[in-house]
Structure 1
Amino acid sequence: MRKVRDAFGEMEVSEDVYYGAQTQRSLENFPIGTETMPKRLIEAFVMLKRAAAKANHTLSVLPKETSDRIVTASDQWLHQPEYKHFPLVVWQTGSGTQTNMNVNEVLSFLASDESVSLHPNDDLNRSQSSNDTFPTAMHVATAIAVTDHLFPALHRLIQTVKEKQTAFQAVVKIGRTHLQDATPLTVGQELSGYLAMLEKTEHMLLQDMDECFELAIGGTAVGTGLNAPDGFGEEVVHELSRYTGLPFRKTDNHFHGLTSHDQLVRFHGTIKALAMDLFKMGNDLRYLASGPRAGYGEYTLPANEPGSSIMPGKVNPTQIEALTMVCSQVLGNDTTISFAASQGQFQLNVFKPVIIYNVLQSIELLSEAMDSFNLRCLSGLKINEDIMADKVDQSLMLVTALNPHIGYDKASNIAKYAHQHGTGLKTAAITLGYVTAEQFDQWVKPSQMI
């Protein structure tokens, strides 16, 4: 153990960790749960401290040697991150102060040596407050997670749907509305609906992502910028943009940036929309692949593992089940985020850790679930054309093609007669005397009803 001090006094900390007294106090004061601060948030915080050190030197409030030491320490950790030095749980102060100080303590430790000792507050936290650094790190972490993980996974899924749409474009199948038979369409058309959902959501996510590029840094404690030099926010944003390659910008109103998280609420709302699209698509595929003997049986999903511990040969849609469970979690996360964002009393929202924990969890879970579903399920999707053709032939809704020729009422009588007497539409139509065999064959062609 080694002894460390902060404004509250002396603490003992293990020699194999880099953090100091405030982190140790938090560990002891909040023994709640096992959910630690997300790794992406810690990474974003280290990037922020790196940018702040450069900005402080540019604005002549931090010596070059101190700034260089912080930058070097940050680069060292980012190159080989060790997360054991960031053990704090989500369930801490609502501003995330302990996590901000955890980062300050670790980097000050790494940046110090026998000749120079950096101070967590005076050096690492110079021109900053937890109240503006934490929301800034929230946005940086979200932007990086979406750019590096969510968008690539979504794009890969979209490409697979496009390939399947092209491959099955001309195969005619029966449509269904209200879980009842409807008029025909092609498999390609059915898949195009899923493709449009995913592309539309991708477009909405790109729009919403722009709001998350706005950063609160420079507002310090309550939004006034107290203790920060003029231009500090702009300098930090410039350096973050240069380092990450993302178009970050300073908020126009720091009071908003500290107390409101409406941008993340909106963004996660679109993530929820993506989850609901995936849920719908997954459910459709699960039902259409049901069987193989007693279900719809129109699609066939890859068999990845045994489906039952008691029924030999059973195969279940496990990838879809995993995907839809993730979507359920995202829906729950959205409720938590929405409520937590409402708790912005006066100048500060004090539910920040739980907001970013849920935002990043949704991004990570959805990204990984989409990749798994894409690789182990959708890419191996096959269709059963014989079953599809048989269901088209059996459908009573093909009678819709007769409407323009004999009217709705007579067409309805044909469908009712066929259903009641267990005959085909053609037999019913001829029996009722509404059309001839030649007319029926001319007018009722599924391939021309799509």
Structure 2
Amino acid sequence: MNSFRTETDLLGELQVPKNAYYGVQTQRAIANFKISNHKLYQYPIFIKSLAVVKLAAVETNFELGLINEPLKDAISQACLDILKDQYFEEFPIDMIQGGAGTSVNMNANEVIANIALEKMGYEKGMYQHCSPNDHVNLSQSTNDAYPSALKLALYQMSKQVTDALEKLFFALDRKAKEFESVIKMGRTQLQDAVPMTLGQEFEAFAFTLKKEIPYLQNQAFEFLEVNMGATAIGTGLNAPKGYAQLCAEKLATLLNEPVKLAENLVEATSDTSSFVAYAGALKKLAVKLSKICNDLRLLASGPRTGLYEINLPPKQPGSSIMPGKVNPVIPEVVNQVCFKIIGNELTVSLAAEAGQLQLNVMEPIIALTLFDSIEILTNAIDTLRIECVDGITANTDHLRNEVYNSIGIVTALNPIIGYKNSTKIAKQALEENRSVYDLIIEQNILTKEQLDTYLDPKNMLSSH
């Protein structure tokens, strides 16, 4: 049978599992918020960021003479244990919750306090010796500890997206070089336009994603501005003079990152614009990525009645009824992830807009939404690279024949054979369903050798 200990808070007594490192407020959150299947323990990077914030806070409190050394050592060691990937199971609360993150903050305070109590030789719950509120949360509020930890977690997670994106860029760039001599028709409005190379098409894919790497990094950099020392509303009530700046410096040292204190703590405590900006950056990337996947699906369409310009790696049978059908399942799944990212941006925007006066209480849904976006987008980018882009091949002969049979090459040859000849050939080719290539040779406008030279990708395409 489970045994329990009794803990007390503002609302009275409550039974907590005896072996649990969390306490009464966490227990209430478990009971109150049965909303999603997303639990705090599924986000270890967030838990570790909370531990870093609590570690910086206790070191700051000790340096300012607010806490004794044995207590500081016990709390610090508890935080370090969490940073060594211990005790994650002690964070069982739902990520979607009311209270502006108070449940998350108190979950961390209670777990750290009870770990520290055991290190000092006491039993869990003997909070007179190490209190979640009076000691672990000393000089803090949920309203500075929670968003600071969230920002630091998102900053670190953002590196996953940019690392994955950089690898995808290099994969597309390799394909661009592989296809640099493969001539094809470019299209505008899904109609034949002018010749280009498949390499140029893939180079454009690579370049448009490359531009998003510094953009994401710049948006994530805003997360390094924290409001520690703001306490409840930014006035710093209950935090001693010098605490805010010193705590930010401690965080910078612990993380080896340029963490800095927000210039105006009242503004910083209610402002969630850095989350909105980052969600927007993810959305911008998702729109580009989805467009690329749309193009890959179009280019690979067929094999007999579509464009059939490239081949995507076959990954699974495409139908339960149509033998031989293979679908572009990897671009399809990435498209769907991108739709989710675009929707998630709206969630973050609405949550940010719902802030009132000196606080935004909707940060828990912002946290879950951004964690979700980063995780699934990173996975989608990796999947697209490994399962699709690396294995793409070109239907070179088919592409060349399309160019030679296209009316569009007349535009490319116009400076050479003149507008009058170009118009005549184009009209005849359309009326008689003939090849422009054959008609030009047949009418002695150019020799085959001359035409092949002009249609060589090295001579036909702009070098800039």
TM-score category of the 2 structures, normalised to the smaller one: over 0.9
Amino acid at match of 1:120: P
User: C-alpha separation between the residues in 2 aligned to 1:225 and 1:33?
Assistant: 34
**C-alpha contact (below 8 Å) 1:4/1:12 kept by paired residues:** yes
**C-alpha contact (below 8 Å) 2:195/2:412 kept by paired residues:** no
Cα deviation, residue 186, structure 1 = 1.4
Aligned to 2:114: 109
SS class of match (2:14)? strand
SS class of match (1:139)? helix
Asked if 1:441 is matched to 2:444, the reply is no
Aligned to 1:36: 39
User: C-alpha separation between the residues in 2 aligned to 1:63 and 1:284?
Assistant: 63
Structure 1 runs of 4+ off > 4 angstroms? 405-410, 426-431
Cα deviation, residue 32, structure 1 = 2.2
User: C-alpha separation between the residues in 2 aligned to 1:269 and 1:394?
Assistant: 44
Which range moves more in the overlay, 236-245 or 166-175?
236-245
Asked if 1:335 is matched to 2:340, the reply is no
**C-alpha contact (below 8 Å) 2:230/2:236 kept by paired residues:** yes
Aligned to 1:155: 166
After superposition, the C-alpha distances for 1:22-53 in whole angstroms (9 at most, x for unaligned) are 11112222222323344332221122111111
Asked if 1:347 is matched to 2:358, the reply is yes
TM-score for the superposition, normalised by structure 2: 0.91
After superposition, the C-alpha distances for 1:221-268 in whole angstroms (9 at most, x for unaligned) are 010111112222222222222222222111111112111111121122
Equivalent residues in 2 for 1:51-450, closer than 5 Å: 51-113=56-118, 114-115=121-122, 117-147=129-159, 149-404=160-415, 408=419, 411-426=422-437, 436-438=445-447, 441=451, 445=455, 447=457, 448-450=459-461
User: C-alpha separation between the residues in 1 aligned to 2:335 and 2:452?
Assistant: 44
User: C-alpha separation between the residues in 1 aligned to 2:318 and 2:78?
Assistant: 50
**C-alpha contact (below 8 Å) 1:392/1:446 kept by paired residues:** no
Cα deviation, residue 407, structure 1 = 5.4
User: C-alpha separation between the residues in 1 aligned to 2:341 and 2:196?
Assistant: 32
User: C-alpha separation between the residues in 2 aligned to 1:416 and 1:274?
Assistant: 43
**C-alpha contact (below 8 Å) 1:72/1:111 kept by paired residues:** yes
User: C-alpha separation between the residues in 1 aligned to 2:353 and 2:99?
Assistant: 13
**C-alpha contact (below 8 Å) 1:398/1:446 kept by paired residues:** no
User: C-alpha separation between the residues in 1 aligned to 2:26 and 2:346?
Assistant: 30
Amino acid at match of 2:289: L
SS class of match (2:314)? coil
Which range moves more in the overlay, 135-144 or 242-251?
242-251
TM-score for the superposition, normalised by structure 1: 0.93
User: C-alpha separation between the residues in 2 aligned to 1:376 and 1:443?
Assistant: 38
Aligned with 2:21 (options 12, 18, 22)? 18
Instruction: Note closer, same or farther for the CA distance 1:318–1:118 as it changes in structure 2 (3 Å cut).
Output: same
User: C-alpha separation between the residues in 2 aligned to 1:236 and 1:92?
Assistant: 27
Amino acid at match of 1:441: L
Cα deviation, residue 291, structure 1 = 2.0
**C-alpha contact (below 8 Å) 1:17/1:84 kept by paired residues:** no
**C-alpha contact (below 8 Å) 1:94/1:349 kept by paired residues:** no
Instruction: Note closer, same or farther for the CA distance 1:238–1:57 as it changes in structure 2 (3 Å cut).
Output: same
Q: Size of the alignment, in residue pairs?
A: 447
Q: State the Cα RMSD in Å.
A: 2.1
**C-alpha contact (below 8 Å) 1:402/1:443 kept by paired residues:** no
Which range moves more in the overlay, 216-225 or 107-116?
107-116
User: C-alpha separation between the residues in 1 aligned to 2:114 and 2:87?
Assistant: 14
User: C-alpha separation between the residues in 1 aligned to 2:365 and 2:110?
Assistant: 22
Which range moves more in the overlay, 57-66 or 28-37?
28-37
User: C-alpha separation between the residues in 1 aligned to 2:361 and 2:239?
Assistant: 22
Cα deviation, residue 409, structure 1 = 6.5
**C-alpha contact (below 8 Å) 2:96/2:368 kept by paired residues:** no
Q: Which runs of 5 or more residues in structure 1 are unaligned?
A: none
Cα deviation, residue 11, structure 1 = 0.5
SS class of match (1:268)? helix
